[in-house]
A and B are shown apart, each in its own frame.
Chain A
């Protein structure tokens, strides 16, 4: 059931890959703009590069997440899906995993932009990808749940970030810290604790949001 739901989401995302490109360009443009906020001081840009990367990713993620229930809202497709003899939980996890994969991909695509613009090169690429995967997991679990709500109301573009941003403060904090430790070096060996924090945030919200999703979509 879960694999069927996931396949449907991935197929949908593949068919709307122009959307992914647009979001990527948006994220890259945001990274470009952040450097104007600081000024052309290479050392400072490098210092803040992790924060900028995650802010860019966060802003782009609201676009991706807000769109993720677009297909279900047309022709009352959501009701059709709920009538299937399938657990709504499978629908949720299918969508959340698809969003997660897309955001991870987006994060990986933004790394070269960050490296070029902020001179924030690193050789620990697998570690960086791990942090991006864990951080975007923290964004997509509550993000998918809130998107299911806000997709059905007026002014969803405002409401989704309003609900999501305060919630993901711990995930954002840990991701930025971990990323900047990768880029700037980790003399105090703090990496582990931030990874643990991220992983526990993910574990809590992936289970809690899955539990509550049934309440949100059922009439």
Chain B
């Protein structure tokens, strides 16, 4: 079987290397070169990983949603493998995001957790997609597994903006999103470097994971050997 998820076998490794280099340089600048922020001081330096993680987590889960929609229309297995990869990477990034947020929140807000819209939405998101990963583990038939998890992914993705706005009405404390346009130039470079670093790492992980998923699928879909045949 020709595997579309393995068309560029070297690319993920190149991206992985690039990602590590970008992340190392970006973090170095962020930690040692960029000046500390006026109000929050050194604690603010976590922004250089926190904000890029947030962008990329959202990007990975958006890609999972796109994969789910394409799979339901085209029924092509490669999109199922890509969706599985994107959900896993997105959940890991989302979990890291919550951890980094807690580390930042303790010295800044004085609490580990706060019921702020973005924080709560991220937590809900992580749980929703963990549920979908669990569903994939419990369904043995690959066809059903693919369709059901695509359906669940679409339903969970539609929920994200609703959760965000409902929690926002409910309670709010988080500062406005940081983006290169809201921070001054000295903070801009490490933020961009790390954003691309994590983007490369994420893409590489999704590609590698999709390849593994494709290989597993190929093994599952292969007809069982005839009786008496040597395996």
A→B interface (CB under 8 Å): 142, 145-146, 149-150, 152-155, 158-159, 162-163, 165-167, 169-170, 173-174, 177, 193-194, 197, 200-201, 204-205, 208-209, 212, 215-216, 219
A167 is contacted by which of B128, B135, B150 (Cβ under 8 Å)? Answer: B128
24 residue pairs A–B, Cβ–Cβ below 8 Å: A146-B152, A149-B148, A152-B144, A153-B138, A155-B138, A162-B134, A163-B131, A166-B131, A166-B159, A167-B128, A167-B155, A169-B124, A170-B165, A174-B166, A197-B165, A197-B166, A200-B162, A204-B162, A208-B155, A212-B154, A215-B150, A215-B151, A216-B148, A219-B143
- Shortest beta-carbon distance from B55 to chain A in Å: 22
Residue of B at shortest CB range from A194?
Answer: B169
B→A interface (CB under 8 Å): 72, 120, 124-125, 127-128, 130-132, 134-135, 138-139, 143-144, 147-148, 150-152, 154-156, 158-159, 162-163, 165-167, 169-170
Residue of A at shortest CB range from B170?
Answer: A173
Residue of A at shortest CB range from B156?
Answer: A167
CB atoms of B138 and A154 under 8 A apart: yes
A155: B residues at CB distance < 8 A: 138
B155: A residues at CB distance < 8 A: 142, 145, 167, 205, 208-209, 212
A204: B residues at CB distance < 8 A: 158, 162
CB atoms of A159 and B148 under 8 A apart: no
- Shortest beta-carbon distance from A21 to chain B in Å: 30
CB atoms of B135 and A170 under 8 A apart: no
Residue of B at shortest CB range from A212?
Answer: B151
CB atoms of B158 and A166 under 8 A apart: no
A163 is contacted by which of B125, B135, B162 (Cβ under 8 Å)? Answer: B135
In the complex the two chains form, what is the Cα distance from A219 to B166 in whole Å? 36
- Shortest beta-carbon distance from B227 to chain A in Å: 26
B144: A residues at CB distance < 8 A: 152
CB atoms of B158 and A162 under 8 A apart: no
B167 is contacted by which of A158, A173, A201, A215 (Cβ under 8 Å)? Answer: A173
Q: Name the residue among A145, A166, A194, A204 with the largest chain B CB count within 10 angstroms.
A: A166
In the complex the two chains form, what is the Cα distance from A149 to B150 in whole Å? 12
